[in-house]
Amino acid sequence: MKFIDLRSDTVTQPTQEMREAMYKAEVGDDVYGDDPTIRELEEYAAHLVGKEASLFVPSGTFGNQLALFTHCRHGDEVILGDDCHIVAHEVGASSVIAGVQLRTLQSRKGALDPDEVRSKIRGEDIHFPRTGLICLENAHSNGRVIPLENMEKIYGIAREHGIPVHLDGARLFNAATSLGIDAAEIAKYCASVMFCLSKGLCAPVGSMLAGSSSFIEKARKGRKLMGGGMRQAGFLAAAGLVALKKMRLRLKEDHDNAALLGRELAKIPGIKVFTDDIQINMVYFDMRDTGDDGSKLVKELLKEGIKINGPENGIMRFVTNYWVTKDDIMHVVDVIKNVLKAA
Ligand SMILES: *Cc1c(COP(=O)(O)O)cnc(C)c1O
């Protein structure tokens, strides 16, 4: 059965072109530096985001945590938003792997207040931890694209204090698409950036961590320590190259579909769509006024071949992706209308 899957863009299957590229990929032992496809991917990815070098890593979480581990010393403090992925969805890894302390600032719809960032940077005092890193996230997993001016200000403050900035750019290319600029224009406000190949870009596995040559050299050793030294990973890189060269250029379709989905859902009585938050491929909404918070809807839609996640803190999220067409969107809206009518 073909499902319409709106749970996430991580559910995307590789495209036929990716499967063929994987089948034909020339590979080698990448720990020896022998994999030409990995090398091509790492060079291409670095170039795309305007950095000297990049490294293929197994997941976005791996890439973020490797960045923390590479930038920081044990006991350092990292300044970041209280709702960012590193804080909320990485299983507390930063205390396990990098051994850092997280100093969370109240996120303002995903953005940090530059003045607050400045005020939280530690001075010299025998009692204080060292501020080792500032982390930003763009696009934010709340669906919003953080304005470049905000990133620029924080980057400037960080530079004044000699503190690096890491960007969690899991959906960096969604942000770039939304802003209508090159990803490098966003990544110029950070020392290192992680972005995922395996979300809306449809690659089966993998993320990239990019930065200066010396940073990536150090990260390569850290990746080995974390068990991420992969051998003939060129099969995955082959799909990653298709992701970056081709799938990156069509993300606007997903954004347009999300906007359409948001508009249609908003017409249904009892559903409140957070329209301002539809900036990439995500639609957040509150349907509690229909009498169902979404828990029942999950089961009803599954019967109709539509997969969605249940509510988190009362809020529902649908994510569009390559495998969900405009017709699928209209079909989902019709099914939801029928389910709610029957209830
Ligand atoms: C998905 C995501 C990650 C982590 O990626 P995984 O490959 O799932 O580990 C990190 N940051 C953000 C903002 C994400 O959305």
- Report CA(174)–ligand 1 centroid distance (Å): 13
Q: How far is the CA of 168 from the centre of ligand 1 (A)?
A: 8
- Domain with residue 181: its CATH number is 3.40.640.10
Give the position, in ligand 1's atom list, of the atom nearest the Cα of 60.
5
Examine residue 127 and state whether it is found in any structural domain, yes or no: yes
Give the separation between CA 270 and CA 78, rounded to whole angstroms: 41
User: Is pTM beyond 0.85 here?
Assistant: yes
CATH at 276: 3.90.1150.10
Ligand 1: atom nearest CA of 198 is 7
- Structural domain includes residue 6: no
Question: Which residues of the chain fall short of a pLDDT of 70?
Answer: none
Residue 130 confidence (pLDDT): 98
Q: Is 137 in the pocket of ligand 1 (CB under 6 A)?
A: yes
**Angle formed at CA 163 by CA 158 and CA 164, multiple of 5 degrees:** 95
Structural domain range at position 286: 250-342
Tokens standing for residue 90: 């990485």
Q: Are 164 and 112 in contact (CB under 8 A)?
A: no
Specify the pLDDT at position 319. Answer: 98
Question: Is 1 among the domain residues?
Answer: no
Residues 170 and 205 in one domain: yes
- 59 and 86 part of one domain: yes
321 shares a domain with 230: no
Say if ligand 1 is within 6 A of residue 48 CB: no
Residue where a domain stops, chosen among 245, 279, 301: 245
Q: Is there a domain that residue 8 lies in?
A: no
56 Cα: distance to centroid of ligand 1 (angstroms): 15
User: 18 and 214 in contact (C-beta within 8 Å)?
Assistant: no
Per-residue pLDDT tens for 140-151? 999 999 999 999
- In the chain, the number of structural domains is 2
One domain for residues 141 and 32: yes
| The pLDDT value given to residue 330 | 98
Burial level of 227, CB count in 10 A (0-12/13-18/19+)? exposed
Judge if 68 and 205 occupy the same domain: yes
Determine the pLDDT at residue 1: 75
Could you tell me if 191 and 97 lie in one domain?
yes
Instruction: Indicate whether 162 and 220 sit together in one domain.
Output: yes
Residues 227, 259: one domain? no
